[in-house]
Amino acid sequence: MNSITENLDSAELYLNRELSLLAFNRRVLELAEDESIPLLERLRFLCISSSNLDEFFEIRVAGLKQQVALGISTTGHDALTPQEQLSRIRELVGKLVEDQYRVLNDVLFPALSQEDIHFVPRNLWNEEQAQWVKNYFTRELLPVLSPLGVDPSHPFPRMLNKSLNFVITLEGKDAFGRDSGVAIVQAPRALPRLIRLPEKIAKGKYDFVFLSSILHAHVDELFPGMKVNACAQFRVTRNSDLFVDEEEVEDLRMALEGGLPSRNFGDAVRLEAADNTPKKAIKFLLNKFKLAEEDVYQVNGPVNLNRLMAVPNIVDRPNLKYPAFIPSLHGNLAPESDIFATINQGDILLHHPYQSFTPVIEFIKQAAADPDVLAIKQTLYRTGAESELVELLISAARAGKEVTVVVELRARFDEEANIKLSTQLQDAGAHVLYGIVGYKTHAKLALVVRRDKGRLKRYVHLGTGNYHAGTARAYTDLGLLTCDKMIGEDVHKIFQQLTGLGRATKLKKLLQSPFTLHQSVLTKIEREAEHAKQGKTAHIMARMNALIEPQIIQALYRASQAGVKIDLIIRGICGLRPGIPGVSENIHVRSVMGRFLEHSRVFYFYNDDKPEIYCSSADWMQRNFFRRVETCFPIETPELRERVIKESLLAYLSDNTQAWILEQDGHYKRLKPGQKKPRSAQAHLLETLAS
């Protein structure tokens, strides 16, 4: 054997996390170019690629820049230093941004124009449109604008993260004799970035102008008596990762509340500017934001593509969007049925969004109203600002039931909403806790304690996704409703851990991070390897959002070397290199992407023809195994096991229209049906499960 097959720590065997994340965003952009997808949905995918890139800079690039500033040069298993990663990121993001604007200007704008949806540039406004725009500027924009000259008595203004701004270069002196030559105009946050022209003056039903175009056209009115040489839009992206020293704070909620305002003014990490911005102005902005030349991205179009996300909501053209569908209601859960009686008849598997999220809401709704229910306990990670589930928990608490809610305040970018929800719950008399210091509570659990025939009985919901009715329509997730005694006891013990004190107790059926999940997965992978060495059939199938934990990757490499067939469906980041001779030639990795965000985590182990199927809230990442509270639950009913295998694994492994294959070098190649019948997992599940 050569050195690489013996040394599974070799950097050649690992893909970089950040570069893999950029590869995922590249696949999102490819969906924006896919002509088989409805046009307005393609525009959405372009916007998603833009917002994803924003978060990439706010969190991932910001973290790397901090490491460089602190002189940290340590590497991960891929052996790339923080500085080397930043250099590769600059190269890849530069090409990605260039392609985003190419898709917008050369592909989507012309296609939208063909559908009578126009984004009218200034040079094409007719006289009537120009007059309307002038009136809009005078009426709506001018009264709320505050042009800011930059001179010794007017320092460079603080700018909110990702806000739209304009840098103006000027000639002449103002009323006070000042001639600094530079001014800043900040676009009002209260006004839309995209304005629809009235139909009576528009070319078609849906004609839009950008707020930036309106300001450009009339910027000289902000500086009377002076000459405007240039006006260019820009925005700055800042470090948005909230840091709270959890060992020092006494109240995590108060600490987070105090830190939220600062998120908008973290260190600058990226400058985006229009491609017509003068070099002198770029240099001026870079100096003010303490950025280097490699941190600027000049673009041919609006600096925030995500603003176009409003268009599909405004344009009423169903033929340019995905067809509407109605999630089906599980056959045993007819409206007004007794959900506890139904669960007593057998476990219920829900596959969202194809099957309705309503039974989960009904589970809590009936528990809140049922006089035989004594207690409700639930974890909340992301729920949405207006959550029906939270309202039901509030009503249960007000009805005198014991309601305990573990709210994870550190759900990134949902901290403010979760703080508000926790306040509402506390005001209603619910017991609200914020999990364990140092460990995010990412588990998705709901426990109802009910008196049945004089004895207390536990009913449980476990899920792979959040208790969020909105994302349940857009994300694929699995949920299990059960009254299995051992699972109920396990969930009870987990809530005891989260709310009280004491040592971790052994669970009977659930696997849990940070205690048993990592070692259990390793053991199950190693068991498959042993079976393969004995000449038995051995097979692992796993589906998740991300795979980067080094020990798991090495275990998969060893299993592959032993002859285990390994099929991985990884939506996003993958640090494993498949197809390396002598190491991973038995490992196949694919990413499936489409209308719905693939969010389910499913693990299958053949186990010598005694298959084990688990669903989980956890990806195979260090943070999920060691720094979070996660759960992984078995699917034991034979009928439900077959459903999970068929719907969540085999359907995706046979997809040849929305699947990308990960190649050995880290590149993804999109599958095409060729001579085979086209197969889309999402389309198939919509057809077979939804109404």
Q: What is the C-alpha separation between 129 and 264, in angstroms, rounded?
A: 36
Q: What is the C-alpha separation between 484 and 508, in angstroms, rounded?
A: 11
Q: What is the C-alpha separation between 590 and 582, in angstroms, rounded?
A: 20
Amino acid in position 4? I
Q: Which three-class secondary structure state does DSSP give residue 122?
A: helix
- Other CB atoms closer than 10 Å to residue 244's CB: what's the count? 16
76: Cβ–Cβ under 8 A, 6 or more apart, which residues? Answer: 14, 16, 17
Helices (H), 415-516: 415-427, 485-499
Q: What is the C-alpha separation between 431 and 423, in angstroms, rounded?
A: 11
Q: By C-alpha distance, which of 484, 472, 408 is closest to 443?
A: 408
Q: What is the C-alpha separation between 129 and 546, in angstroms, rounded?
A: 49
62-68: long-range contacts at Cβ-Cβ below 8 A with a sequence spacing of 24 or more? Answer: 62/238, 62/239, 62/240, 62/241, 62/266, 62/267, 62/269, 63/241, 64/18, 64/89, 65/239, 65/267, 65/269, 66/239
Residue with tokens 């603080």: 158
Q: What is the C-alpha separation between 447 and 467, in angstroms, rounded?
A: 13
Instruction: Report the 3 state secondary structure along 192-253.
Output: CCEEECCHHHCCCCEEEEEHHHHHHHHHHHHCCCCEEEEEEEEEEEECCCCCCCCCCCCCHH
Q: Tell me the chain's radius of gyration from C-alpha atoms.
A: 27
* Whether 546 contacts 572, CB under 8 Å: yes
Q: Which three-class secondary structure state does DSSP give residue 448?
A: strand
Q: What is the C-alpha separation between 221 and 214, in angstroms, rounded?
A: 12
Q: How far is CA 345 from the centre of its chain?
A: 36
Q: Which three-class secondary structure state does DSSP give residue 458?
A: strand
Length of the chain: 691
Q: What is the C-alpha separation between 416 and 240, in angstroms, rounded?
A: 14
Catalytic residue among 442, 468, 518, 599: 442
Q: What is the C-alpha separation between 361 and 389, in angstroms, rounded?
A: 6
461 is catalytic: no
318: Cβ–Cβ under 8 A, 6 or more apart, which residues? Answer: 324
CA distances from 637 to 237, 347, 456, 508, 652 (A): 49, 7, 24, 17, 22
- HSE (CB half, 13 Å, CA atoms) of 222? 28
- Other CB atoms closer than 10 Å to residue 412's CB: what's the count? 13
- Other CB atoms closer than 10 Å to residue 569's CB: what's the count? 24
Q: What is the C-alpha separation between 195 and 548, in angstroms, rounded?
A: 43
Q: What is the C-alpha separation between 548 and 17, in angstroms, rounded?
A: 7
Residue with tokens 């995706």: 652
Residue with tokens 């600027």: 296
Residues serving a catalytic function are 442
